Amino acid sequence: MSETVSTSQSLGQKRLHIKTYGCQMNVYDSERMADVLRPLGYVMSDAPEDADLVLLNTCHIREKAAEKVYSEIGRLKEMREDKEARGGGRMTIAVAGCVAQAEGAEIMNRAPAVDLVVGPQAYHQLPELIARTTRARGERLMADFAADEKFDKLPVEREVSGPTAFLTVQEGCDKFCTFCVVPYTRGAEWSRPVAQIMDEARRLADKGVREITLLGQNVNAFNGADKSGAESTLSRLIEALAGINGLDRIRYTTSHPNDMGDDLIQAHADIPQLMPYLHLPVQSGSNKILRAMNRKHTRESYIELIARIKAANPDIAMSGDFIVGFPDETDKDFEDTMDLIRQVEYASAFSFKYSKRPGTPAAAMPGQVDDKVADERLKALQALIIEQQQAFKAGLIGRTIDVLFDKRGRHNEQGIGRSPWLHSVFAEDAAHLIGQIVPVKIVALGNNSLQGELIKELV
């Protein structure tokens, strides 16, 4: 180990370890933080204990996610002491992401081991901030959170790690669901200009990326400026991206039902590169709870919306988000949610127990639901979703579907890829197909995956 230390240091390299919590937008931000730091000589490392800089890219959405950060800081503090004791040099500990944004001052007080706190809008300033955070001088720093033009200042070059990539096109949220911290941690809805996104997408395609997922807290509210300065839409952006050579698959997430315009629904019929999979959170199937959540849609409008989407593209599979145990949720309200799930038939879904977030309107609502009751509801809901998920996958057995192979499997020549509906597909003798989209016959189901066979004459 000491040999590695001296070799990398003699080359002017420093080791960077990033731990990412939460959503795909954080995954994107972590990759971009690595891009920002690469010119300073930072190379990625899987080993926090040897890192010169550890970045925790945090999530504030639920209490558990936020609390994890403090226990991780405790572990890192011990690793740092060990590293310094064995002459491995200093370790800077930085907290980025939404906990940094929401609780910056509290982190500085509660966790003296942290050297630097940087919110999601300020990470393009990391080189300057790190230079100013000199642990030797005992200086600690909290970046100011002025939301200046982060995307204008990020390096245009991105390192890619395979044929799929995330691309953030929109940030923030103006919806103010009563349970959610996002409007407070990520700020108002804001979209990147179309030309900047096109440039990033072209560069990704040039590096072999075949599938991009457009990201935004409310991605379908995208209204970035086009060349003439006029507001564009997500459907127009997707149409333009579909014209990029090599970019064969486009996805977008996460959408709000109220921003699902007719043009975007039509895009699912007209643009073959747009994958037939839509993540469209509903949160609850009870109109009473939806009102209390300030979702601004009803169960009927959601079900009707899905009918229109499926009419445009019958192959489309639905995914969603659900919260159980929201204040004042009765057995009947929960049953309404189960009933909605039965009607929609999801191919997958994320479900959460309501978590009380300080400062959100729901935190002060009467009728907070007993934890045990919420646990039972979550279990029942997840069992139903698993049933539907398995049924959807079972329907694929015997079908030949396009798979984008993106990594090697455990066995020597096994390849793992992605179905159009985001399943992992395993196939023997497919490791040489990484980066390619090939037809695969589905022959069996795994718990979270599909088993496929290559169609020999087509490969």
Report the interface residues with ligand SAM, using CB under 6 A.
23, 61-62, 179-180, 182, 217-218, 254, 256, 281, 283, 321, 323, 352, 354-355, 357
**Least gap, CB of 436 to ligand SF4 (angstroms):** 35
Report the residue number, 215 or 396, with the smaller CB distance to ligand SAM. 215
**Minimum separation from the CB atom of position 97 to ligand SAM (A):** 12
Quote the least distance from Cβ 179 to ligand SAM, whole Å.
Answer: 4
Three-state SS sequence of 158-172: CCCCCCEEEEECEEC
Helix ranges (H only) for 176-313 are: 182-185, 194-206, 234-242, 262-270, 287-292, 299-312
Residue 57: which of ligand SAM, ligand SF4, none does it interact with, CB under 5 to 8 A by kind? none
How far apart are the C-alpha atoms of 164 and 249, rounded to whole Å? 9
Interface residues with ligand SF4 (CB under 6 A) are 173, 175-177, 180, 182-183, 217-218, 256
Other CB atoms within a 10 A radius of the CB of residue 161 amount to: 12
Q: Measured from the CB of residue 28, what is the shortest distance to ligand SF4 in angstroms? A: 16
Closest to ligand SAM by CB, 98 vs 425, is 98
Least distance (Å) from ligand SF4 to the CB of residue 257?
Answer: 10
Which CB atom, from 180 or from 433, has the smaller least distance to ligand SAM? Answer: 180
What letters, b where the CB count within 10 A reaches 16 and e where it falls short, cover 208-224?
ebbbbbbbbbbbbbbbb
183 binds, among ligand SF4, ligand SAM, none (CB under 5 to 8 A by kind): ligand SF4
**Is the distance from CB of 120 to CB of 108 less than 8 angstroms?**
no
Closer to ligand SF4 by Cβ: residue 219 or 241: 219
In a 13 Å sphere around the CA of 438, the CA atoms on its Cβ side amount to: 26
End-to-end Cα distance, the chain: 44
Tokens at 339, concatenated: 């009933």
Minimum distance of ligand SF4 from residue 46's CB (angstroms) = 31
Instruction: Give the C-alpha separation, 146 to 160, whole Å.
Output: 29
Asked if 9 and 50 count as a contact pair (C-beta separation under 8 A), the reply is: no
The nearer residue to ligand SF4, 173 or 454, going by C-beta atoms, is: 173
Task: Tell me the closest approach of the beta carbon of residue 365 to ligand SAM, in angstroms.
Answer: 12
Pick the closer one to ligand SAM by CB: 179 or 252: 179
Phi, psi of 54 (to 5 degrees): -110, 125
Partner whose binding site includes residue 176, from ligand SF4, ligand SAM, none (CB under 5 to 8 Å by kind): ligand SF4
Nearer to ligand SAM (CB atom), residue 125 or residue 351: 351
Cβ of 275: how many Cβ atoms within 10 Å?
25
Q: Which of 421, 422, 417 is nearest to 452 (CA)?
A: 417
